[in-house]
Amino acid sequence: MPTPTDGSAVLRVVVTTALGTLPLEGASVTVSTAADEAGTRELLYAVTTDAGGMTPPMTLSTPPRANSLSPDSGLPYAVYTVEVSHPGYTPVSALHVTMFSGVPAVLPVPLTPLPENQSAGQTDLTATGQPQVLYTPEPDFTPEE
């Protein structure tokens, strides 16, 4: 896997059948920016999984690590949307996937088989709302040693 640098992170997606039983080869995986106020997203990657259900490494832009050192520096992470589909399975959209600078990540995505005689399913959304707000300690907080 490529080594992430400050200002980037590497993401791989591993796609399996439900409960992670078997890897799914040939699953379509797209990675895009999170939707802006107008609902527009930018497609960054469109790849397929290999025999092990794994995508190739995808390098994504992130804010610098220094943003995590003080509350006024801005968000310390970037947010992306990952969509996964495979014929015969319910597609999945993972919203608000957070990536931190220099931290490689693997996103496991189990796909559920469609009921018999059904050719398409409604997309499963794996998250809704805004990314989790990170905890900021009170100004007079001092960790115990």
Pair 5, 99: CB distance under 8 Å: no
Write down the pTM of the prediction. 0.76
Cβ atoms within 10 Å, residue 92: 22
Cβ atoms within 10 Å, residue 128: 7
Q: What is the pLDDT of residues 91-135, one digit of tens each?
A: 999 999 999 998 899 999 999 998 876 665 555 555 545 554 444
Indicate whether 60 pLDDT > 70: yes
Q: For residues 33 and 99, what is the distance between their CA atoms, to the nearest angstrom? A: 11
Percent of the chain, pLDDT > 90?
54
- Residue 28 CB burial class (10 angstroms; 0-12, 13-18, ≥19): middle
> What is the DSSP annotation of 92-109?
EEEEEEEEETT--EEEEE
Pair 102, 5: CB distance under 8 Å: yes
Q: Give the pLDDT score at 2.
A: 64
